[in-house]
Amino acid sequence: MVRYLLILSLFFSSGYLDAQTITVSSSTDTTDYLVGDFINFNIEVVTKKNVQVLAPVFPDTLSKLDLISISEPVINETEELNTINYNFILAGYDSVSATIHPVTIEYRSEGDTTLKKITTDPVNINIHTVPVSTAEEIKDVKSPLTIAFDWIELLLWLALGLVVIIVGWIFYRRYKKKKSELHVEKKIIKIPIHVKAFAALDELEKKQLWQKGKIKEYHSNITEIIRIYFQERFGLPAMELTTSESIQQLRRTKEAGNIIDLTIDFLSNADLVKFAKFQPLQSVNEEMMTQARNIVQNTIPTASVLIEEEELDV
């Protein structure tokens, strides 16, 4: 019933054409939770094939709730429609009635550069504690168990530990001896991180992956270069974060303030190719390289940040 009401409201607020192009709905697995329970909050986006959807950016702070994790989007395709599900894990630690406020979804149609917005409906939930009877005495679930001491088992464990120590000592002596016989001369090369990023982008461009039909590999490689750059430039664990989590971390980084919108567009286009099997136009593939270079160019540090690389000469 909630989903039907949402579709009707989209019809009257956004016009008939937009309602036929994209619909969104939001829901939780239930409306009643205990304090500390995980709250599965889901946003479902249904679009036509020619619609590009940007990943929703969940609010940094939630009234009375905490954001625990964000899952990768799950995409289901039919001949005419794409259905994208975004799942968020929330939790509440007070007995309250809470509201998950509307989340904004940005999208654009193929051939139309205008970025449009649509929002989910608010979702109301109740969080309460487990009722406790103060009239009854507190008891253990089971009585404590007494475990008999086994001298044989102790001796076996001591013998095993002694064997491990002896074997470890033998391997250690061999390792030290072998290492002392090997003379290694180390050469340390220090290069700025933005120079390293530009070199990686140049090398990727020379491979001409998307021109050879390897579009998904091209988008995976170019986003990996930028994520490594974010990790080295801003100290973010970007290789372990989803697109939404990366954007949230960048918003908290003062030096990344001028690339937020550019990064959202860059990572969202790559996600569509990698996860939604979206076939981008040639201009989109070219724009990805331009956006990647602009992201690095606009965040070059004033003081040179260096990356140390070692070369070994035996």
Residues β-bridged to residue 28: 41
Return the minimum-mean-pLDDT range out of 126-140, 202-216, 239-253: 126-140
Tokens of residue 42, six digits: 């889901």
Q: With a cut of 70, say whether residue 61 has pLDDT above it.
A: no
Residue 153 domain-assigned (yes or no) = no
Residue 174 domain-assigned (yes or no) = no
**Number of domains making up the chain:** 2
Of 79, 110, 128, the one marking the end of a domain is 128
Render pLDDT for 159-188 as a digit per residue (tens, 0 to 9): 999 999 999 999 888 888 777 666 555 566
Residue 224 domain-assigned (yes or no) = yes
Residue 145 domain-assigned (yes or no) = no
Render pLDDT for 280-310 as a digit per residue (tens, 0 to 9): 778 888 888 898 899 888 988 776 555 545 4
pLDDT (0 to 100) of residue 60: 60
Q: With a cut of 50, say whether residue 6 has pLDDT above it.
A: no
Q: Clarify whether residues 103 and 219 are in a common domain.
A: no
Tokens of residue 21, six digits: 């192009």
Of 128, 159, 180, the one marking the end of a domain is 128
Q: With a cut of 70, say whether residue 7 has pLDDT above it.
A: no
Local confidence band at 85 (pLDDT 50, 70, 90 cut-offs): very high
CB count within 10 Å of CB 292 equals 25
Q: How many Cα atoms are found within 13 Å in the side-chain-facing hemisphere of 17? A: 4
pLDDT (0 to 100) of residue 140: 64
Q: Are 295 and 198 in contact (CB under 8 A)?
A: no
Q: Quote the CA–CA distance of 107 and 264 in Å, as a whole number.
A: 12
Residue 205 domain-assigned (yes or no) = yes
Q: With a cut of 80, say whether residue 65 has pLDDT above it.
A: yes
Of 78, 107, 128, the one marking the end of a domain is 128
Render pLDDT for 201-222 as a digit per residue (tens, 0 to 9): 899 889 888 888 888 888 889 8
What is the CATH number for 107?
2.60.40
pLDDT (0 to 100) of residue 181: 64
Q: Clarify whether residues 115 and 198 are in a common domain.
A: no
pLDDT above 90 as % of the chain: 13
Residue 141 domain-assigned (yes or no) = no
Span between the terminal Cα atoms of the chain, in Å: 72
CB count within 10 Å of CB 259 equals 21
CB count within 10 Å of CB 8 equals 11
| pLDDT, mean over the chain | 80
Q: Clarify whether residues 227 and 300 are in a common domain.
A: yes
pLDDT (0 to 100) of residue 304: 53
Residue ranges making up the domain that contains 245? 189-313
pLDDT (0 to 100) of residue 165: 93
Q: Select the more confidently predicted residue: 99 or 57.
A: 99
Sign of CA dihedral 220, 289, 103, 38: positive
Residue 206 domain-assigned (yes or no) = yes
- Please give the average per-residue pLDDT across 256-268, as a whole number: 87
pLDDT (0 to 100) of residue 84: 92
Q: Residue 179 contacts by C-beta under 8 Å, 6 or more apart in sequence?
A: none
Residue 169 domain-assigned (yes or no) = no
Q: With a cut of 60, say whether residue 234 has pLDDT above it.
A: yes
Q: b/e for 21-49, b at 16 or more Cβ within 10 A?
A: bbbbbbbbeeeebeeeeebebbbbbbbee
Q: With a cut of 90, say whether residue 4 has pLDDT above it.
A: no
